Structure 1
Amino acid sequence: MICCKRVYEPHEESDGYRVLVDRLWPRGLPKDQLHHDQWLREAAPSAELRRQFAHRAEAFDTFREGYRRELAAHPEHWQSLLSRAAAGTLTLLYAARDRQHNNAKVLQDFLEDELERQGASSSPVCYAGEL
């Protein structure tokens, strides 16, 4: 299971493995006060993409498409999260105020799609278009 949670919300045991997925450290939060297991800066959107988005809801669809392209191009940045999610609860931590329009939600959807894609295969051979 993959969940998303703001870094400013309290830690709960049900959070499981907690990963900060922002490129920058959250404002006003001392490093020793965030309960997290990993900080995966590389899995965050590029600085250019973040600047273009600027947390504007009307720019979210374009941001989501761009971020998903970045993720697809660099599986080495997020691959380790798949085994964490398959083994138990994975909580993606983010600092944005908007709970629906943020990089953690895009990453959550991307990882869930990837888990479904990998789990749906019944054979390593693809026979698409041969029938």
Structure 2
Amino acid sequence: MFKKINTTNIAIITIILIFVTKWLSKDKPKPDDPLPVSDIDPNLFTISEDQAEDYADNFLDAFDHTSILDAGTNTDSLNSILNQINEYDLKLIYDKFGLKPYLYLGSHPEWLGGVPYDLKKWIELEIDEDHEVYQKFKVMFKKVGINLA
């Protein structure tokens, strides 16, 4: 009555899903970058480039936050970082974040169907517009020429 699903069929279905996902999300956005970091007075930064890379990694970890009791974006972690930096630091972090593959369940490699998005797009996808953390990002980004939706 029912056919057995073997590993070959599962692999074929997985590959088809990956290609369909890539085809549906072929319009990859370009990062919004109106104010190059090189144009910012270095005295305005309160963090180093290494710290910016660490914060970028922390942002990604917060977006990918999952545990048994709490799934989804860890906005407390994001808020904690925002309280420690200024808008110029955030621009540096934005640059260090670069493009990270996203698949509506957090970070996933491109080969698995993840679409590369910049920090701005991750924020727009992961945090509700009326959330306090989204509003903080919006105000800080606006000061360096990046506009959230």
Give the structure-2-normalised TM-score: 0.29
RCO comparison, higher one (Cα < 8 Å, 6+): 1
Which structure's residues are more often helix, by fraction?
Answer: 2
